Each structure stands twice: as structure tokens, then as C-alpha cells.
């Protein structure tokens, strides 16, 4: 007999609405606290949003990012990002790295003196290193990147709102978007609270979180719609609870396996991707939470027109009048 891992029982009957005031209150409190952190403390923007200088280095020796970082540390250059560049066209003796240094004291670019000091520091660990190019990103470009990042998150949210509205009902769309706003705001808030570097990779993480969270929410909503057709006499709250219980195993397995991979990357991935992986890890946790405790609760608060035909052309969501149901059934037998 084959072994099958079960994180939750096959059949559960947990009441996810038992503490709905507490769970919704906690979500509202986290959103408010996150907004306060962002407005009072601000975000610790990285080079992408603050401007700075990008240096391309070339060397005949293998690049050691740790040694490069240690060599530049005494210069107190602030936010420094070092990444290796790999290209199949590179020869065996060509090793390339990109060094990004934040703008110094409001200047658009680092001064020639700082550039020379950085080159001498790197030559102390790799005498063959040369600066192939030095490029600067000014405040204007950084401001455009911030605007583009905000617009991309808003566009993704609006597109999802439109999709859910067409696929389900407008009440579902409101619940799904409320959950997405909850996830994004709380994730940004944690970055503001702990002053973790916020750059374009975090925007990529936010967009990924939006996609992951809405996928989980749609699974619950799809099962909810099926159950609304199947259990017409069951109260809406119980139908919602049943839908979450029926999809709980899938939710736990999907989130759990994703978190295993992310935690491994968080511990072993290094500084370059740590911010991105942290955002993803936190986002998966709050995204799963919002799918179970936020999205459906918002729909329950708004309510559904249970006599309305669903958009897939099936039966009515819910018919409260048993006599009306019996009359409709009698018509169908004639």
C-alpha cells in the first residue's frame, strides 16, 4: 500500500468564521500599521529608486563577490550591489561583474576620486580587474522607475478585478481585490518597519505575490460557486465554510511546498536575492491567510443575490423559498 502524506485530514469541518471579527480586525490593524510605517518611516529605497552609479568590471580571474564586497566596505559607499554576469560568449579568461553604488550626498554620480578609490580597492584583491564602463542613473530616471513600479502594481490589480468580475460576480471581485490590497500593503509595510532595502526586485516579488494570492482565492471561489449551485438550501456562511474546508488540503500543500523552497533560498541564497526571497516568503504567508480569512469574509459581508443565475449558466445560487423550489421542480417533470 502506497504511503500518502497528509498534512490535513481528507475531510475537515473547521469553522473559519468562528473568530471572523478577530481575523478581520487583525487584518485591518496590520493594514493601518503598515500605512503608518510607510508614511512615517518611509521605504529604504535601493539604487534603482535613489539613483547611483553602475560599474562594469572585467577580469581574467574568477570573480569573488565576497572579496569584492569586503574590499569596498572601508570606503563607506552605502548601498552597494555586486552581481556576476554570465554569458556563453565569454571566454574562459573573461569574468565580468556589475557593481552598483548608490548616489553619494545627493549627487547623481560618484566622483572620479571615489571611482579611482573603488578601483584601487578591488585591485588589492584582484590585480587584473579593470573598469570597462561607468554609468550613472540620475534622480529623474529613478523617479520614473518609481512611477512605473506603482503603475504596474495598480494595473495588475485592476486587471484582476476585471477578470474576477467577468468570471464570477462583482461581490467576488471586491473580496478578491480587498485581499490583494491587504497582501501588498502589509508586505510593503514590513519593508518600511524593518527598513529592508526596497528595489525593483521587490516590485517583481509583489507582482508574483499578487498572482499567487489570486490563484488561491480563485480556487476557493470556484469551489464556492459549485457548492452554491449544489447546496441551494444551505446558508451562505455554511457554504463558504464548506468551500474552504474542501480546498484546505490543496491550499496547505501548495503553500507549504512553496515555502520550503523559499526558506532554503532565504537561508542559502545569499545577499543578492535575500530581499526578493523575503518578500516572497512573507507574501505567501499573508496571501494564504487573506484567501482563507479576508476574501470570503468580504463577500459574506456584502452578500449575494442568491436568486440570480450564475455567469456560467448554471442553476440559481440559492432559493430561500422551498415552495418556489418545489414548483420549479414540478414544472421540470411535466
| Mean pLDDT to the nearest integer, 243-253 | 86
As a whole-number percent, the residues of the chain with pLDDT over 90 amount to: 12
DSSP 8-state assignment for residue 273: H
Q: How confident is the model at residue 32 (pLDDT cuts 50, 70, 90)?
A: very high
Claim to verify: residue 213 and residue 99 sit in the same structural domain: no
**Cα–Cα distance between 225 and 222 in angstroms, integer?**
5
CA distances from 155 to 149, 287, 295, 334 (A): 10, 19, 20, 51
**Cα–Cα distance between 51 and 105 in angstroms, integer?**
11
Q: How confident is the model at residue 1 (pLDDT cuts 50, 70, 90)?
A: very low
Claim to verify: residue 82 and residue 146 sit in the same structural domain: no
| Mean pLDDT to the nearest integer, 108-117 | 77
Question: Which of 137, 152, 181 is a domain's end point?
Answer: 137
**What pLDDT is attached to residue 292?**
86
Left (φ > 0), alpha (ψ -120 to 50) or beta: where does 51 sit? Answer: left
Question: Which of 115, 137, 159 is a domain's end point?
Answer: 137
Residue 187 domain-assigned?
A: yes
**What pLDDT is attached to residue 286?**
92
> Which residues constitute the domain of residue 112?
52-137
Question: Which of 122, 137, 152 is a domain's end point?
Answer: 137
Domain count, the chain: 2
| Mean pLDDT to the nearest integer, 218-245 | 86
Claim to verify: residue 26 and residue 173 sit in the same structural domain: yes
Claim to verify: residue 156 and residue 33 sit in the same structural domain: yes
Claim to verify: residue 190 and residue 276 sit in the same structural domain: yes
Please give the grid coordinates belonging to residue 170: 462583482
Residue 65 domain-assigned?
A: yes
Q: Is the pLDDT of residue 224 over 50?
A: yes
Place of cell 569574468: 95
**What pLDDT is attached to residue 40?**
93
**Cα–Cα distance between 311 and 244 in angstroms, integer?**
21
pLDDT in tens, 237-247: 888 888 888 88
Claim to verify: residue 160 and residue 309 sit in the same structural domain: yes
CATH classification at residue 198: 1.20.1640.10
pLDDT in tens, 138-169: 655 566 777 887 888 888 888 888 888 887 77
CA distances from 156 to 89, 171, 177, 182 (A): 36, 19, 10, 14
CATH classification at residue 106: 3.30.70.120
Residue 132 domain-assigned?
A: yes
Q: Is the pLDDT of residue 325 over 60?
A: no
Claim to verify: residue 265 and residue 302 sit in the same structural domain: yes
Beta-bridge partners for 96:
58, 85
Q: Is the pLDDT of residue 231 over 90?
A: no
Amino acid at each position: 500500500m502506497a504511503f500518502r502524506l497528509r498534512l490535513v485530514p481528507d475531510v475537515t469541518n473547521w469553522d473559519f468564521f468562528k473568530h471572523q471579527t478577530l481575523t478581520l480586525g487583525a487584518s485591518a490593524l496590520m493594514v493601518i500599521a503598515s500605512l503608518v510605517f510607510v508614511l512615517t518611516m518611509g521605504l529604504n529605497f535601493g539604487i534603482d529608486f535613489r539613483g547611483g552609479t553602475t560599474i562594469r568590471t572585467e577580469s581574467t580571474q574568477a570573480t569573488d563577490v565576497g572579496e569584492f564586497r569586503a574590499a569596498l566596505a572601508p570606503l563607506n559607499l552605502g548601498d552597494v550591489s555586486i552581481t556576476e554576469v554570465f554569458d556563453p560568449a565569454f571566454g574562459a579568461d573573461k569574468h565580468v561583474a556589475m557593481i552598483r553604488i548608490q548616489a553619494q550626498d545627493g549627487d547623481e554620480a560618484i566622483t572620479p576620486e571615489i571611482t579611482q578609490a573603488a578601483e584601487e580597492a578591488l585591485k588589492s584583491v584582484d590585480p587584473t580587474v579593470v573598469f570597462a564602463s561607468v554609468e550613472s542613473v540620475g534622480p529623474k530616471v529613478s523617479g520614473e522607475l518609481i512611477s512605473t513600479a506603482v503603475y504596474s502594481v495598480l494595473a495588475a490589480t485592476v486587471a484582476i478585478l476585471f477578470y474576477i468580475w467577468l468570471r464570477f460576480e462583482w461581490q467576488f471581485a471586491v473580496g478578491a481585490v480587498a485581499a490583494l490590497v491587504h497582501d501588498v500593503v502589509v508586505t510593503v509595510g514590513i519593508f518600511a518597519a524593518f527598513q529592508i532595502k526596497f528595489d525593483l526586485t521587490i516590485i517583481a516579488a509583489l507582482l508574483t505575490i499578487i498572482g499567487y494570492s489570486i490563484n488561491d482565492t480563485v480556487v476557493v471561489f470556484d469551489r464556492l460557486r459549485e457548492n452554491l449551485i449544489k447546496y441551494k438550501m444551505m446558508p451562505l456562511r455554511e457554504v463558504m465554510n464548506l468551500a474552504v474546508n474542501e480546498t484546505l488540503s490543496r491550499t496547505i500543500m501548495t503553500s507549504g511546498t512553496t515555502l520550503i523552497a523559499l526558506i532554503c533560498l532565504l537561508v542559502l541564497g545569499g545577499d543578492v536575492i535575500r530581499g526578493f526571497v523575503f518578500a516572497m516568503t512573507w507574501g505567501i504567508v499573508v496571501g494564504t491567510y487573506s484567501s482563507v480569512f479576508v476574501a470570503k469574509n468580504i463577500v459574506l459581508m456584502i452578500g449575494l443575490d442568491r436568486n440570480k443565475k450564475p455567469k456560467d449558466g448554471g442553476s440559481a445560487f440559492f432559493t430561500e423559498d422551498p415552495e418556489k423550489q418545489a414548483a420549479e421542480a414540478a414544472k421540470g417533470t411535466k
